[in-house]
Amino acid sequence: MNEIDPARPQTVFDDATQHVAHVYGAALLNSAQKVGQAADIVEDLTALVNEVFPRDRYLEAFLTSRAVGRERKAQVLRTAFQGRASDLFLNFLLVLNDHDRLEALRAIAAAMREMYEDRQGLMRLRVRSAVPLADDQRERLTQELRTKFGRNPLLDASVDPDLLGGLTVQVGDVLYDASIRTRLEQIRNHLIESSSHAIQSQRDRFSS
C-alpha cells in the first residue's frame, strides 16, 4: 500500500480539531498583525488549502500523512515556500510540522480567516437566491444587512433554482428564509392545518 493516500479532504471538523485550529490560528494571526502581514498571511493560507491543495491532492496527502517523517516534510516545505512566501508563513508551517499538526491546516485556515474578519468588523454571510443577484440588489442587500447587524457583510452568494424566488441568508447557524418556496410551504401547511381543524370540528359536532 502506498504511504500517501490522496483521500478526499476533511470539511467538517470535530471539536478537538476546531480547538487546535483556534489556538494555532490565533497565534499566527497575532504574530502576523504585529508585523503588519495579517491580510497577506490569511490570503496565503487560504490559497494553500483552497487553491493549491485541490490542484495537487498528493501534496496535501504527503503533508498530512503520519507515515511520512517530519524531516522529509520539512524539506518539501522549504523547497516549496522558501523565497516564495514570507518567513512567517514558512516558519508557521514548519512549527505545525514539528508538532504533527499539518493535518489541521484546513481547519486552521478557516478559523484564522473567521478571526481576522471578526477583528476587521466583517461578517461573512451565505446568500442563496433563485437567480443571480443584480448589482443593485446586492448593494441594497448589503446595506440592509449592514444596518441590521452593525457590521460590514461579506456575501458568499450562490444560485438555487429550487427556491423559485426570493432568497435565504445564513449567518453562522441562523437561517433567515425569505424564499417563495418556503412561503408556499407555509401556506400549504396552514391550509392542511385549517382543513384538519375543520374536519375535526365537524366530527365533534356530529358526535355531540
Asked if the structure places residue 186 within a domain, the reply is: yes
Q: Which residues contact 85 (CB under 8 A, 6 or more apart)?
A: 44
| 208 or 170, which is more confident | 170
Task: Name the H helices within 50-134.
Answer: 53-55, 57-64, 70-81, 87-98, 105-119
Asked if the structure places residue 9 within a domain, the reply is: no
| 202 or 1, which is more confident | 202
Q: Report residue 122: phi and psi, to 5°.
A: -105, 155
* pLDDT higher than threshold 70 for residue 121: yes
Task: For residues 170 and 63, give the distance between their C-alpha atoms in angstroms, rounded to a whole number.
Answer: 33
Examine the domain organization and report whether 114 and 152 are in the same domain.
no
Position 99 scores a pLDDT of 96
The pTM score is 0.70
From the list 112, 12, 106, 14, the residue with the least C-alpha distance to 61 is 106
Position 14 scores a pLDDT of 77
Asked if the structure places residue 37 within a domain, the reply is: yes
* pLDDT higher than threshold 70 for residue 8: no
- Antiparallel, parallel or unpaired: β 166-171 and 152-159: unpaired
Instruction: Report how many domains make up the chain.
Output: 2
Containing domain of residue 73, as a range? 15-118
The CATH number of the domain where 35 resides is what?
A: 1.10.520.20
Q: What is the mean pLDDT of the chain?
A: 85
Position 205 scores a pLDDT of 57
Asked if the structure places residue 208 within a domain, the reply is: no
For 204, the grid coordinates are: 365533534
- Full DSSP string of 11-74: -S--HHHHHHHHHHHHHHHHHHHHTT-HHHHHHHHHHIIIIIHHH-HHHHHHHH-TTS-HHHHH
Examine the domain organization and report whether 89 and 150 are in the same domain.
no
* pLDDT higher than threshold 80 for residue 44: yes
Position 190 scores a pLDDT of 62
Q: Ranked by mean pLDDT, which of 105-109, 122-126, 129-133 comes out on top?
A: 105-109
For 166, the grid coordinates are: 426570493
Examine the domain organization and report whether 112 and 138 are in the same domain.
no
Asked if the structure places residue 154 within a domain, the reply is: yes
Position 130 scores a pLDDT of 86
Position 201 scores a pLDDT of 58
Which of 118, 149, 167 is a domain's end point? 118
